[in-house]
Amino acid sequence: MASKIDSVGVPLPAVKEKARVVSSLRFDWMMVAVSVWWLGGLFIDGWAHSNIPQLETFFTPWHAVFYSGYLAVAFTLIAQILLNLRRSALSAGGTVPSLVTLVRESLPGNRWLRAIPTGYELSVLGLAIFGVSGIGDLTWHLLFGIERSTEALLSPTHLGLALGIGFALSGPLRAAWRRSGGTPSWRQLGPAMLSLTFTFSLLTFFTAYASPLITALTMSFVLLGGLAADFVYRFLQP
């Protein structure tokens, strides 16, 4: 039965909350591409810390590659969030608001959170952690200089950077985990596999100092041991 409010033509307020935006494969591949830039900058910067003893400043070409990769990832994710907000505004009112209006109207009730692609919520948090840690890293270097050896991996600001990178680069993996449908293929699962590889590479980078396989001599023994085991196995085969 229709209510009295309906009978006089007074619209009822909308109470249905818009569903979260599902990440697209195209966006996942874009995030993978810019993540290569960011993670590559990390390894280049790590090489510089280990091989250039006269490195005594924060402002280096290697830091430029590293932090520009961060900006590329941040720009890609923020641009997608703004695009989702714009699509939501178009579907609701049919007009395209200005960027300032779009951002301002998304703040009440934290509507902008629902515009984050599914799986990338921790990526936004990771970008924030990295940004704060990056400012802290600049301050740390200006006050205490440049770290050497394992100190460069275990300084408080670098651990903060690592946490932020881990949260951000694992976004495509979480997006694939929460996406339903689609046939298993390289195109479908490629971003998730590469995102997992990035996460593993990050862990490898920050724990390499404790690995027994970091010297050429140790690697030689490992290879010789493998060859010997293979020879014995083949020899004992009937």
Residue range of the domain that includes 92: 21-211
What the block records as the tokens of 75 is 């720009």
Give the three-state DSSP class for 12.
Answer: coil
In a domain, 220, yes or no: no
Centroid of chain to Cα 198: 9
In a domain, 51, yes or no: yes
**Looking at residue 109, what DSSP letter applies?**
G
In a domain, 98, yes or no: yes
In a domain, 54, yes or no: yes
In a domain, 9, yes or no: no
**Residue 63 CB neighbours (<10 A):** 20
Domain count, the chain: 1
Dihedral angle computed from the Cα positions of residues 164, 46, 39 and 171, in that order, rounded to the nearest 10 degrees: -30
In a domain, 4, yes or no: no
In a domain, 13, yes or no: no
- Is the separation of the CB atoms in 158 and 135 below 8 Å? no
- Is the separation of the CB atoms in 8 and 152 below 8 Å? no
In a domain, 218, yes or no: no
pLDDT in tens, the chain (238 residues): 444 444 344 343 343 445 667 778 899 999 999 999 999 999 888 887 777 767 666 778 888 899 999 999 999 999 998 888 887 777 766 666 666 666 676 667 667 778 889 899 999 999 999 999 989 888 877 777 766 667 667 788 889 999 999 999 999 999 988 887 667 778 888 899 999 999 999 988 888 777 666 665 555 655 666 667 666 666 666 6
Vertex 224: Cα angle to 235 and 208 (nearest 5): 140
